[in-house]
A and B are shown apart, each in its own frame.
Chain A
Amino acid sequence: MTIPATENTQQSCCDEGRKKPACSCSVNTDSKSVIHTTTDFITFENRWDHFLARWGINRSGHIVAPGLYRLGNPTADSPVFASANYTLSFDALREALAGIDAYILVLDTKGINVWCAAGKGTFGTDELVRSIKATGLSGVVTHRRIILPQLGAPGVSAHEVLRQSGFMVEYGPVRAKDLPAYLSTHTATREMRTVRFTLSNRLVLTPIELVHVLLPLIAVAVVLYFLAGLVAALGAVTAVLAGTVLFPALLPIIPTKDFSTKGFILGIIVALPFSAFFALVSGLSGIGQILAVIIPLLVMPPVTAYLALNFTGSTTFTSRTGVKKEIFRYVPVMVLMISVGIVLAIALGTFRLIGVV
């Protein structure tokens, strides 16, 4: 599940940047020491690793050893690219550079992708400067340019890197696959500089959204099955699937801009069949029937809306200011709706138990 790095990887732990005296492994003091070798070929094993990463299996295990890598047969004039030590990031880069001789400097981002790591600062100025020095990059290449993925920029201050390491940061395109085109001119088009969030970008995130809520969902569905029957259990599953799978898929076409309101709309739509079932098929009448119709409309939409709101963390465009505003605006509504819904459901259950309805 790990990578072509077969050589000495001790540098990653004994780096001087962290100053941890207790580390007992031998410090490699020869700064020009280790250059790993990699290829532009993505093996079946690599692809299986990517699949597992997408499903959140062994979440922290999709790691490349940090350090300097040789791709093809680079010379002292070959370009240098920086990447994160997350297999999906590293493999996207080396696959995009097929046939190009280059060096790849893998930063220690704790197995996290470039953009997220940049947001946290682990793909950052300090780590980049540290890696340049630790790998002896200035002795490996004669030029002083390093190409970073554009999405590394939230963590890296290009002018600081230049001041501290002498290396000039060049921001490449957002997507590694645009690198061959970028390298011919070293300028990126506006298209290459813009983040998208396409249907396939969104769908690839749905497994992890689902995996996150799977255990609580199963627990709730089982409890509902015994308390209120199969249809109620299906209602829970439907509300969650709507929030974790349907919502990401339909994101741009659901009306309104806020994620919560989009979620409410989707939640109401998927709740309607359940209300209809209780109105027409369940055999309830009078107050019981009215309650049974209202309850799905009160309970399901806030679940879907909450999951929809949580999807903001996975998107490529929501600002913290806006998400905070959404939380204050809509979370109280969600709590109120689901609370009233649960109280009514308990009331309905009690009425049925004592034979009122």
Chain B
Amino acid sequence: MFDSYQENTLRYFPEKCINCRRCTQVCPHGVFAEGKDRAELVQPSGCMECGACALNCPALAIEVQSGVGCASAMISAALRGKDMDSCECSCGGSESTCCGSETHEEICSCGADKKEQK
């Protein structure tokens, strides 16, 4: 009750694991732990779907639909009739920079050139 965070999209296929331990290094929530022959999925509900483990698994033993859990970005995407899953956002200190990314052209020392290229 009142817990929407029990399930997530993380899937682990231990039979593919080559025990390189990358997942245990990159996970910021201790979801994977080192095991004897292969990594062990010890905290599946702690997964925040950042995608670091899947991207860094050379054996493709981990799958996750990664994305940032930012309500304001998803709601505004839904209101504009866009796909909630494809909207971009971000976490932490730079929230507004990310969410309003249209206004942020690349930082280029060539000045005016960049605008023409847009």
Q: Using CB atoms and an 8 Å cutoff, list the residues of chain A in contact with chain B.
A: 9-10, 12-14, 18, 20, 22-25, 53-54, 56, 59-60, 63, 65, 85-86, 88, 108, 110-113, 115-116, 118-120, 150-151, 153-159, 171, 174, 188, 190, 193-195, 204-205, 208, 212, 256-259, 261, 309-310, 312-327, 329, 331
Contacts and interface: CB of A to CB of B under 8 A. Distances in A.
The 8 closest A-B pairs by CB, nearest first: A313-B70, A116-B90, A13-B108, A153-B52, A322-B5, A153-B26, A323-B69, A325-B4
A271 to B, nearest CB: 19
A155 B106 CA distance: 18
Contact of A120 (B28, B90, B114): B90
Contact of B28 (A13, A23, A86, A174): A174
A174 B30 CA distance: 12
A14 B117 CA distance: 12
Interface string B98-116: 1101011011111001101
A316 B56 contact: no
A193 B48 contact: no
B71 A195 contact: no
Contacts, number: 223
Given A9-B109, A25-B113, A116-B90, A317 B71 contact: no
A205 B93 CA distance: 6
B4 A23 contact: no
17 contacts: A59-B96, A111-B97, A111-B107, A116-B92, A116-B94, A119-B98, A120-B90, A150-B28, A156-B55, A174-B28, A195-B28, A204-B93, A257-B5, A323-B4, A324-B74, A326-B71, A329-B4
Given A60-B97, A323-B71, A193 B25 contact: yes
Interface of B: 2-9, 22, 24-30, 46-52, 55-56, 58, 65-75, 78, 84-85, 88-99, 101, 103-104, 106-110, 113-114, 116-117
A53 B8 CA distance: 33
Nearest to B30: A194
Contact of A190 (B30, B49, B85): B30
B17 to A, nearest CB: 14
Contact of A154 (B51, B108, B114): B51
A320 B69 contact: yes
A324 B98 contact: no
A92 to B, nearest CB: 11
Nearest to A262: B2
A155 B98 CA distance: 15
B26 to A, nearest CB: 4
Contacts of B110: 10, 13-14, 23-25
Contacts of B24: 193
Given A119-B50, A310-B71, A316 B26 contact: no
A299 B94 CA distance: 30
